[in-house]
A and B are shown apart, each in its own frame.
Chain A
């Protein structure tokens, strides 16, 4: 038994930021996926959605849910990532200043996604786009999120 959800995401659409991930999260709760797995999948989906909104022109976010686990697929048409190893480093970001000022693009997206996944694959082609596949299969305690450096609310 597998449930598939698919959402179209538009680059720059901050008004809808997080909507697809919220819908996926809601479905996981209704299905009865344990709380920690739900949260890990939700964080991955959110970061993937935000990456498309911040960096790409357009893309899709998909989730496949089965009793064995949750698979998140994010595929975008965008500038692509020239150096994936560098992009995976915590705090590294190519987000422009105006996006950072909005509290996004702190360079934690990809590292956090990897951190919360049991399986994580990323491929990218410069000038074409990026594909991410993440799987959360084991119900286990979540590692703490890494707060972006120097970001605070008061």
Chain B
């Protein structure tokens, strides 16, 4: 067994009633109900948050960092996700940009020393993405690496598409890299004593942050704080002050802010022949097509695990569709044009060529679905699986604790379940047993049997 991976989605045991809602929604079949509680397979979990959304008992939660962690550092920087702006309705007609400034101010009031707007980092990411796709270095259709749940989905379920993932840093990483550098040079504080915290809409970004903490070298983002967790405090502090000199980034463009909702990334990248897909099950349908060799003429695929994009994140407060409208309004109000002049563009290009914005991590397939390491054994197990499946009722009811009959067959073949975990199979067995009992009960021991009155069989 591989070592347990960190994943953000976790179970509150006492709240879980062992229902089967989550196992049926999970896009990677990562959950089983065993002994009345949902168990998450860490290898398969992509932290998309589908189970958080679907659990009526609120037993599924995302583990994120507490605001208390700010105390661990000499100085702290907030990295607000672009989608955060969509959580606040416009109060002042005609001045949507007020929201933008108010959010910055409210973050400082929470105790951060500075803010670096991830929407501005998204402006940088848009420019690099366009340049990279035009260079033709990545196999088409190029898939955005901005959503970490999608990246993980590719590793777990679509490993042949790893070569399609753009090696461009996601905005969160660009923001962390630049924010710490700028703050360190302004304040003289060592980058290791500066904590950068992403204000996260989702569990997947939390996992991303954890996986990118580098104890030996430079860490760009030190933690992730849930939007829902600080929403009340942000609301209280809206309009409390201006960010002014505490803002480490320039003002983002409307295009950068637009990354907060699905479609925004493509609008910002600005290439023709693109495709936008959101909602993890829709993403899977599109990836199946790419694996079949379709969509080869598409330049860029913006794929997001959450419906509506990041505004639909499981740690958001507003309805995703309201959030999306809010983002669109703000984006239009903030001018949808690249914020960079020629000089800035060539500066970014210089950094890009030096590899500053390019993810170097080697993404490996995660063989979470392999039946056996030995291919011959795997083929044998596959044959067995098909046989077991034929015998199951095919109702896909989930009562056994596996998401559907096929998954139960897989679990049986792997020795993780038995046939009588299926209630219908169990009933069959009970019926057989009852019949046998009945038969036996009627049969007298031969010493007591009465003589046959008909005289037959003598």
By a CB distance below 8 angstroms, the chain A residues around B288 are 18, 22, 25
By a CB distance below 8 angstroms, the chain B residues around A151 are 297
By a CB distance below 8 angstroms, the chain A residues around B369 are 29-30
B426 within 8 A of A: no
By a CB distance below 8 angstroms, the chain A residues around B350 are none
Task: Report the minimal beta-carbon distance from A77 to chain B, rounded to whole angstroms.
Answer: 24
Q: Closest B-chain residue to A36, C-beta based?
A: B160
Task: Report the minimal beta-carbon distance from B390 to chain A, rounded to whole angstroms.
Answer: 13
What is the bound-complex CA distance between A53 and B383, given in angstroms?
A: 27
B274 within 8 A of A: yes
By a CB distance below 8 angstroms, the chain B residues around A66 are 379
Whether B293 contacts A67 by the Cβ 8 Å rule is no
By a CB distance below 8 angstroms, the chain A residues around B157 are 29
Q: Closest B-chain residue to A47, C-beta based?
A: B293
**Among A1, A2, A25, A153, contact of B295 (Cβ-Cβ < 8 Å):** A153
By a CB distance below 8 angstroms, the chain A residues around B289 are 18
Q: A3-B383, A38-B160 are in contact. Are A32 and B378 (CB under 8 A)?
A: yes
Q: A25-B291, A42-B291, A152-B273 are in contact. Are A31 and B375 (CB under 8 A)?
A: yes
**Among B296, B367, B375, contact of A146 (Cβ-Cβ < 8 Å):** B296
By a CB distance below 8 angstroms, the chain B residues around A147 are 296-297
By a CB distance below 8 angstroms, the chain B residues around A152 are 273, 297-298
Whether B292 contacts A30 by the Cβ 8 Å rule is no
Within 8 A of A (CB), among B320-341: none
By a CB distance below 8 angstroms, the chain B residues around A38 are 160
What is the bound-complex CA distance between A47 and B383, given in angstroms?
A: 25
| Most interface-central of A25, A35, A42 (chain B CB within 10 A) | A35
Whether B293 contacts A46 by the Cβ 8 Å rule is yes
Q: A31-B378, A144-B296 are in contact. Are A153 and B365 (CB under 8 A)?
A: no
B139 within 8 A of A: yes
A73 within 8 A of B: no
By a CB distance below 8 angstroms, the chain B residues around A1 are 376, 379-380
What is the bound-complex CA distance between A112 and B162, given in angstroms?
A: 21
Q: A144-B139, A145-B296 are in contact. Are A153 and B275 (CB under 8 A)?
A: yes
B371 within 8 A of A: yes
B159 within 8 A of A: yes
B373 within 8 A of A: yes
What is the bound-complex CA distance between A47 and B160, given in angstroms?
A: 18
A11 within 8 A of B: no
What is the bound-complex CA distance between A25 and B291, given in angstroms?
A: 9
B382 within 8 A of A: yes
Q: A32-B373, A39-B291, A43-B292 are in contact. Are A67 and B297 (CB under 8 A)?
A: no
Within 8 A of B (CB), among A18-32: 18, 21-22, 25, 27, 29-32
By a CB distance below 8 angstroms, the chain A residues around B435 are none
B218 within 8 A of A: no
B211 within 8 A of A: no
Task: Report the minimal beta-carbon distance from A11 to chain B, rounded to whole angstroms.
Answer: 19
A148 within 8 A of B: yes
Q: A25-B291, A43-B292, A43-B293 are in contact. Are A65 and B160 (CB under 8 A)?
A: no
Q: A32-B371, A43-B293, A154-B274 are in contact. Are A2 and B379 (CB under 8 A)?
A: yes
Q: Would you mind naming 29 contact pairs between A and B with Cβ atoms under 8 Å apart?
A: A1-B376, A1-B379, A21-B292, A22-B292, A25-B288, A29-B157, A29-B369, A29-B370, A30-B378, A30-B382, A31-B379, A32-B367, A32-B373, A32-B375, A32-B378, A35-B159, A39-B160, A39-B291, A42-B293, A47-B293, A67-B376, A67-B379, A145-B293, A146-B296, A152-B273, A153-B273, A153-B274, A153-B298, A154-B272
Residue numbers of B with Cβ under 8 A of A are: 139, 157, 159-160, 162, 272-275, 288-289, 291-298, 365, 367, 369-373, 375-376, 378-380, 382-383, 410
A46-B292, A152-B273 known; 15 other A-B pairs, CB under 8 Å? A3-B383, A18-B289, A29-B370, A30-B371, A30-B410, A31-B371, A31-B379, A35-B162, A65-B382, A151-B297, A152-B297, A152-B298, A153-B274, A153-B297, A154-B272
5 tightest Cβ-Cβ pairs between the two chains A and B:
A147-B297, A46-B292, A35-B160, A43-B293, A145-B293
